[in-house]
Amino acid sequence: MSDYRIETKCVQGGYTPGNGEPRQIPIIQSTTFKYATGEDMGRLFDLEASGYFYSRLQNPTCDMVAAKICEMEGGSAAMLTSSGQAASFYAVFNIASCGDHVVASSAIYGGTYNLFSVTMKKMGLDFTFVSPDCSEEELEAAFRPNTKAVFGETIANPALTVLDIEKFARAAHAHGVPLIVDNTFATPVNCRPFEWGADIVTHSTTKYMDGHGASLGGCIVDSGKFDWLAHADRFPGLCTPDDSYHGVTYAEKFGLGGAFITKATAQLMRDFGSMASPVSAYLLNLGLESLHVRMPRHCENAQAVAEFLEKHGKVAWVNYPGLPSSPYYGLAKKYMPGGTCGVVSFGIRGGREAASRFMAALKLAAIETHVADARTCCLHPASTTHRQMNDEELAAAGVPGDLVRFSCGLESKEDLIADIAQALERA
């Protein structure tokens, strides 16, 4: 499947049925798997043979869908998680723990920011947040001797900043650490971060990949390119024996291509258990089958909406990386020549109150804590998802108080623009 184009991988990746087998991915709705002898199962426990024994660690349906996303991203191994939050947590915690430090872009999803700056901080990890627009020198200054990873979002939710993946990868690699990129908004249809030097990719599959607001999920993909053994003293968890798993040394036993995901499965999924359900994986796969058809339409609608808003007198500013007026237009054209995402953010003249009148007047677009859905939805982050942030933090994250996030669905763009026009009149 690896020689095929992204469209073919979306439709047929991850599962090739044999003669007489189901055409659609089978839902293996079973917690456990049967073996003839204790020795047979023992080999699985020792990671000597691959197979399934308990669905908290691995399930065949989930693995087929993970394999499809792995092919779409051009990675070496992948795993599903129960949510995007779990994917972000596992991807970082797999290589950084108490006493370690991570450099992260300040323009990231609010939930990820909270995970890093509050919850993981309580676990003893330290994060330095840098502007995605920082100079190479500012980025350089953020590193410490105990830095274990760099983290950013291809297109930040909701700031819509575009990450200069090559700049962040260069800095990470100069310090012997991997670059982890959350590719949720661009999806592998529009951007494949591994082609630009990223080492690990995460997803909230809840967004465009599912695309229908049907099932929560996450995914971690490893490029298989980061050489853990070349930096063995920095990554003892991958390069020294794991006493909690029969003394296995992941980087030696599973090589560059398999070490990261095997460790995250054998340790983190075993202990934290944020596993995707087989039914959720099945629903996610239905979404993936049309992702390459839906993404261009989301982008076309967003482009039309952004251009309409930019010309409207009641709109103070518009932020969409597909607009030539965007400071990220150049980076977007470089990393995502086929389009960025369906989300547009803008400010309404009259600030917070005008924004709520606008939201209340919308008919097609629903107020939801969601983006990237087939149905258009919108949100005022400062009063909802980002309300735990103070004004300074909001500004640093690129989410000013008057920002409305508008996620263009798959409806007619003429109908969407008409809805926005009548709601602006009443703002």
CB of 244 to ligand PLP, least distance (A): 26
* 106 counts as binding ligand PLP under rule CB under 6 A: no
End-to-end CA distance of the chain: 51
Residue number, 83 or 376, with CB nearest to ligand PLP: 83
Across 254-408, the runs of DSSP E, i.e. the strands, are: 315-319, 343-348, 366-367, 377-379, 403-407
188 binds ligand PLP (CB under 6 A): no
Looking at 55, 59, 61, 112, which residue binds ligand PLP (CB under 6 A)? 112
**DSSP class of 32:** B
Using CB under 6 A, pick the residue from 55, 59, 83, 105 that binds ligand PLP. 83
The half-sphere exposure of 154 on its side-chain side, counting CA atoms within 13 A, is 31
Q: How distant is the alpha carbon of residue 315 from its chain centre?
A: 30
Q: How far is the CB of 156 from ligand PLP (least distance, A)?
A: 7
Q: How far is the CB of 38 from ligand PLP (least distance, A)?
A: 38
Shortest reach from residue 373's CB to ligand PLP, in Å: 12
Residue at 12: amino acid letter: Q
- Token representation of residue 328: 């990220």
Stretch that binds ligand PLP, among 200-208, 301-309, 315-323, 346-354 (CB under 6 A): 200-208
Nearer to ligand PLP, 157 or 267 (CB): 157
| Part in contact with ligand PLP (CB under 6 A); list of ranges 42-50, 179-187, 306-314, 325-333 | 179-187
Give CA 250 to chain center in angstroms.
25
Distances (CA, A) of 56 to 83, 238, 248, 272, 344: 14, 22, 20, 9, 38
Nearer of residues 85 and 277 to ligand PLP, judged by Cβ: 85
When the beta carbons of 218 and 400 are compared against ligand PLP, the nearer one is 218
Amino acid at 141: A
Residue 206 touches ligand PLP, criterion: CB under 6 A: yes
In the three-class reduction of DSSP (H, G, I as helix; E, B as strand; rest coil), residue 264 is classed as: helix
Binding to ligand PLP by residue 85, rule CB under 6 A? Answer: yes
Q: Which residues fall within 8 angstroms of residue 279, CB to CB, at 6 or more apart? A: 27, 29, 215
Quick check: 193 binds ligand PLP (CB under 6 A)? no
Say if residues 370 and 328 touch (Cβ distance below 8 Å): no
Number of residues that bind ligand PLP (CB under 6 A): 17
Q: Shortest gap between Cβ of 153 and ligand PLP (angstroms)?
A: 5
Is 210 an interacting residue with respect to ligand PLP (CB under 6 A)? no
Check binding of 153 to ligand PLP (CB under 6 A): yes
Q: How far is the CB of 265 from ligand PLP (least distance, A)?
A: 19
Residue among 177, 96, 191 nearest 139 (CA): 177
DSSP alpha helices (H): ranges in 119-249?
Answer: 121-122, 136-141, 165-174, 187-190, 236-239
| Residues 27-56, mask of contacts with ligand PLP (x by CB under 6 A) | ------------------------------
Between helix 278-288 and helix 60-73 the angle, nearest 10°, is 30
Q: Which residue is nearest to ligand PLP (CB)?
A: 84
* Three-class DSSP labels, 144-170: CCCEEEEEEECECCCCCCECCHHHHHH
| Tokens of residue 366, six digits | 């629903």
Q: Per CB under 6 A, does 204 bind ligand PLP? A: yes
Nearer to ligand PLP by C-beta: 105 or 206?
Answer: 206
The binding site for ligand PLP (CB under 6 A) comprises 83-85, 88, 109, 111-112, 153, 157, 182, 184-185, 204, 206-207, 216, 218
